[in-house]
């Protein structure tokens, strides 16, 4: 079952519309629609928020929904293009995913601090 299908099923189990979930995640309804139709993959921060809102483990959303590709399946150029626009997760390492999430949260906090500092400097 795909990630999008799982998100849709968990959302519907809560009797939420796409708009309801979008509001809770501070994204557009179109974003939810694209995720549920597997037209896009949420970044790890959005995926984490989505799992929390849907009361499900992030690994549950990702299991059996990740495509594993090997270089033997594609030419080198095709693999580079796919990896650039369709990142994959190694489900063998949930610790790695959690570490990436923590790092992205720290980066978001640093960017917020930097923006406040810049605002302060511009006011002077």
pLDDT digits (tens, 9 = 90+) for 37-88: 989 888 888 988 999 999 998 888 887 644 433 344 434 444 444 444 444 4
In this prediction, residue 61 carries a pLDDT of 83
DSSP 8-state symbol, 66: P
**Predicted structure pTM score:** 0.53
- Terminal Cα-to-Cα distance of the chain (whole angstroms): 55
DSSP 8-state symbol, 39: S
The mean pLDDT of the chain is 77
Q: How far apart are CA 42 and CA 52, in angstroms?
A: 14
**Helices and strands in the chain, H and E counts:** 7, 0
Instruction: List the structure tokens of 32.
Output: 């939810």
Instruction: List the structure tokens of 100.
Output: 């990436």
């Amino acid at each position: 079952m795909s990630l999008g299908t799982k998100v849709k099923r968990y959302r519907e189990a809560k009797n939420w519309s796409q708009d309801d979930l979008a509001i809770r995640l501070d994204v557009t309804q179109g974003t939810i629609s694209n995720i549920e139709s597997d037209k896009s993959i949420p970044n790890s921060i959005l995926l984490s928020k989505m799992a929390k809102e849907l009361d499900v483990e992030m690994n549950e959303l990702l299991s059996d929904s990740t495509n594993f590709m090997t270089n033997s399946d594609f030419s080198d150029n095709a693999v580079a293009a796919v990896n650039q626009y369709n990142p994959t997760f190694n489900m063998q390492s949930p610790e790695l995913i959690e570490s990436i999430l923590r790092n992205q949260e720290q980066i978001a906090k640093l960017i917020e601090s930097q923006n406040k500092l810049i605002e302060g400097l511009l006011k002077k």
